[in-house]
Amino acid sequence: MIRLISWNVNGLRACVGKGFAEAFKALDADFFCLQETKMQAGQLDLQFDGYRSYWNYADKKGYSGTAIYTRHEPLSVSYGIGIDEHDHEGRVITLEMPQFYLVTVYTPNSQDGLRRLDYRMRWETDFQNYLHQLDARKPVVVCGDMNVAHEEIDIKNPKTNRHNAGFTDEERAAMTRLLGSGFVDTFRYLHPDEVTYSWWSYRFRAREKNAGWRIDYFVVSERLAPQVAEARIHTQVMGSDHCPVEVDLAL
């Protein structure tokens, strides 16, 4: 069994001060993927026994960024998706493993007033093309903050959020496209009717009221779906406005 964890830490240095190391050890994953590290090289030396780590930093300080800790040495590692427009914000790391590709992603937010929605839609097309290129070679596990609540079940207040970043018709349609083209949302696959969120605004005591969104995912190639043994959302783990999500694969 292989356990994978994904967590948008919303600033790793801040999260380290809120129990990150303890959560990391308790979750005991083979692969631990992070998004929104908000770091530059050399700002934090955070290593764990038995793990190697890979980091992709944004050009802009204190912004975006991804990382993967792994107990298993990859065959190869790549950063970004090979398109200059997208590859300056530290949003993607890909590990090639013997049986699959592991991709961690921090999908661009469409921002207030949807000022980045057009860019987000270009990203969706290019990132999905990238996943399909990988999938043609071997199965893919993609995880991270994908910045979309796919269906109404994935968001506390669907009606009032319909035109807000993360729940626009365009973003939801892009996720529908991905899931209709050979990929599976692991949590929904195992828990079709469960209402569990992975992100809560820091405003309005949203987490206390559980007024959340499910925007953090493990999505796998359809041919891996039979190996999905469990998919969990660790709502009890604090330290960020997101909580960790998990998938266990029987490989």
Could you list the active site residues? 106, 145
DSSP string, 76-139: EEEES-S-GGGTTS--EEEEE-SS-EEEEEEPPP--GGGTTHHHHHHHHHHHHHHHHHHHTTS-
Token duo for residue 181: 């083209």
Q: What is the CA radius of gyration of the chain?
A: 17
What ranges make up the beta strands (E) of the chain? 2-8, 31-35, 52-56, 66-70, 76-79, 92-96, 101-106, 140-145, 183-185, 199-200, 212-213, 216-221, 228-233, 245-249
Structure tokens at 165: 């970043």
